[in-house]
Amino acid sequence: MTAIESRPPASMPLLRTACIVGVSVIGFFLPRLLGGTSAAYSTLTTIAIFAVMCYGVDVVLSYLGEVSLGHTLFWSIGGYTAANLSVKYGLNGWDTALATIALCVAAAAFLGAVTLRTREFVFSLVTYAAAVVAYEVAFNWDAIGGSDGIVGIAALKLPFVVTTFSGATEDELWPVAFVLLLLTLAFISRFRRSRLGTTALMVQMNPALAASLGVNPRRIRLAVFIISAPITGLAGWLYAYQRAYVGPDMFESYFLVMMLTAVVLVGRRVLIGPLIGAALLIAQQNLLSLGGDWNKIVLGSVLALVLIFWPAGLVGLYRRLSKNKP
């Protein structure tokens, strides 16, 4: 074995695996531990879905350092695909999920290709413009739902071997949401250590080094963007089944601001950051709502102040405080 051949990566320590399994099991039973009410199930399912939605933006923001203002496009593609295909053609959950992934990848590829030749922040503007156009299309195209959207989306059906898993009520939908969340976390974890992920990070941190190594930042951006799209798309897919209603409201800034705040609040490149961020935001909205106007002030202030004073998020603040301890 020569020096330039690398060793195979060391396997994860057993303790770490056990911890992850343990936390996962607790997480799965969390709604039951919190009372088993339909409110517990629906809130945690919502948090899981919104967290997965945020992870799509997190991939682009944390690892690429760019702001995608168009992820509501993929969120909506997921929702509309699930709604249209299941209501009009009776397709089951697997089919609609696959269609979602395919459409999101295609849309991201198209948009990303458009930005291949633009400057950095123009990427954000292009994603924003795409979301606006897509909103107008969704609003005006009656065939896919029109301004009132699609109602009566049937319960999620996932045929599995001999049985069919059905997600008709909140407690039935929770395992699907939880599994989706776990899959997303696993995917992000792999992505962080993959070549694409580390290259993207290098492009963000030290563009000169990346250039000297022959890396094309725009192609990296395209690849990362394409990977991030189906994540948010699948969150939208599941949201359609949970809410049983899909409409142009999926393009609203409510979701965009939630995505950005969740990612920024806890800190970038923290694996469970977006999950905690999403949980905090939903908790504030449901438990500590101060009224529509004050909520806007609080949400906007959090977003602005965190980035101005603690750009590394709450995690960064924590690190700074613990460093200052004697």
* Number of chain positions touching other proteins (CB under 8 A): 75
Which of 33, 65, 44 has its CA nearest to residue 275?
Answer: 44
Give the binding range for other proteins (CB under 8 A) out of 26-34, 217-225, 302-310, 316-324. Answer: 302-310
- 54 sits near other proteins (criterion: CB under 8 A): no
Distances (CA, A) of 18 to 193, 270, 282: 21, 20, 29
Cα-trace Rg, the chain:
20
Positions in 132-191 near other proteins (CB under 8 A):
132-133, 136-137, 139-140, 142, 146-149, 151-152, 169-170
Which residue from 8, 9, 291, 326 is in contact with other proteins, where contact means CB under 8 A?
Answer: 291
Give the binding range for other proteins (CB under 8 A) out of 66-74, 99-107, 221-229, 269-277. Answer: 66-74
Indicate the residue type of 114: V
Cβ atoms within 10 Å, residue 15 = 8
- 90 sits near other proteins (criterion: CB under 8 A): no
Ordered DSSP codes for 273-294: HHHHHHHHHHHHHHHS---HHH
| 66 Cβ neighbours under 8 A, 6+ residues apart | 60, 120, 123, 124, 221
Give the binding range for other proteins (CB under 8 A) out of 8-16, 73-81, 294-302, 317-325. Answer: 294-302
Please name the residue that has the structure tokens 């709450």.
314
Which residue from 102, 105, 109, 129 is in contact with other proteins, where contact means CB under 8 A?
Answer: 129
| 25 Cβ neighbours under 8 A, 6+ residues apart | none
Which residue from 200, 201, 260, 281 is in contact with other proteins, where contact means CB under 8 A?
Answer: 260
In angstroms, the CA 162 to CA 186 distance is 27
Q: Which residue, 175 or 300, has its beta carbon nearer to other proteins?
A: 300
Give the binding range for other proteins (CB under 8 A) out of 95-103, 124-132, 191-199, 223-231. Answer: 124-132
Which residue from 33, 122, 183, 271 is in contact with other proteins, where contact means CB under 8 A?
Answer: 122
Please, what is the Cα angle at 106 between 101 and 108, to 5 degrees?
A: 95
- Minimum CB–partner distance for residue 83 and other proteins (Å): 12
Positions in 180-239 near other proteins (CB under 8 A):
none
Q: Which residue, 81 or 127, has its beta carbon nearer to other proteins?
A: 127
